[in-house]
Structure 1
Amino acid sequence: MELSVSARTRRAILFACLAFLILQSAGDLLEHGSSAWVWVSGYALGSFLLVGPVIWIARDRIPASRRQTLLYPVLGAVCLCFFLALGVELALGGVFFFFDAGIAGSIAGFALAYLLERTVVPERLRAPEHRRS
């Protein structure tokens, strides 16, 4: 049985899951005071500056079929880094402070890059699926 879901529905589900993650992490970070938000801002700025331009260039230079093929090793590397960071966090006993800050900051940085692409980036640098016809 094959389930057919529109791209808009998939995007809405993705955004809902990311919103849940960031709210959960932000709730945990409220207990740590204002120093936690410095870490969140650092992660957000780092992910925005590193990942945003790389994604824009990849969307412009790599065809959609090739991006689909490259997505699997990238997701594998992300999962590996995620579990490695979780293991280090558990071993060092940081009580998930940096993990929560990383989750909240990275999602905020990705969201900022996405919003910037949708509103400010010139038409020729946008992803083909986001260009106005």
Structure 2
Amino acid sequence: MPPNEPSRRQRLGSYVVIGLFCVYGVAQFVAADPQPWGVAAGWAAATAVVLGPIAWLARDRIPPERRETLGYVAAGAGVLVASIWLGVALAFAPSLFPYGPGFLVGVVLGWILVCLAERTVVPEQLRGASI
């Protein structure tokens, strides 16, 4: 196993936490009345269009050990932005709050779409190779 690669137990723990988060988002989405399908579809498309090329270029241009550090920074920035958005939405526009499940489901669907596109559409020679 390479020195910076997480153990199988750590990877499994990460997958369980992400899975539980996704199940929670889907439960909120199903419980929402009306279900925000338009918001979910919009966020799925936006996430796939924005994050797909960024992820592929980052994987191509940035070494693996540096990607991990930048991933932590991006996750921290995402949590900060989400916290601020939630605070502003609750303080000034409570009507935006019910669309949180649509946002979560849309981002997860967009991420899945990016992963599927990479595995099925992107040619093998472009995966991880210099462009």
Tell me which amino acid in the other structure corresponds to 1:78.
G
Shift of the 41–96 alpha-carbon distance from structure 1 to 2, 3 Å rule, reads same
In structure 2, what is the equivalent of residue 70 of structure 1? 70
Residue by residue, what CA displacement relative to the aligned partner does 1:72-124 show, whole Å, maximum 9, x if unpaired?
33222112111112212322223732221111110110111112212331112
Instruction: Structure 1 unaligned segments of length 5 or more: list them.
Output: 129-133
Tell me which amino acid in the other structure corresponds to 2:14.
L
Contact 1:59 1:127 in 2 (8 A): yes
Contact 1:90 1:96 in 2 (8 A): yes
Residue by residue, what CA displacement relative to the aligned partner does 1:45-78 show, whole Å, maximum 9, x if unpaired?
1000000111001101111122233233322211
Instruction: Structure 2 unaligned segments of length 5 or more: list them.
Output: none
Q: Could you tell me how far apart the structure 2 residues matched to 1:115 and 1:26 are?
A: 20
1:9 Cα offset (Å):
4.4
Residue by residue, what CA displacement relative to the aligned partner does 1:3-24 show, whole Å, maximum 9, x if unpaired?
x952x54444334333332332
Aligned length: 123
In structure 1, what is the equivalent of residue 58 of structure 2? 58
Identity %: 34
1:76-115 correspondence runs (5 A): 76-91=76-91, 92-94=93-95, 96-115=97-116
Q: Could you tell me how far apart the structure 1 residues matched to 2:126 and 2:12 are?
A: 24
Contact 2:46 2:110 in 1 (8 A): yes
Segment of structure 1 superposing worse, 24-33 or 48-57: 24-33
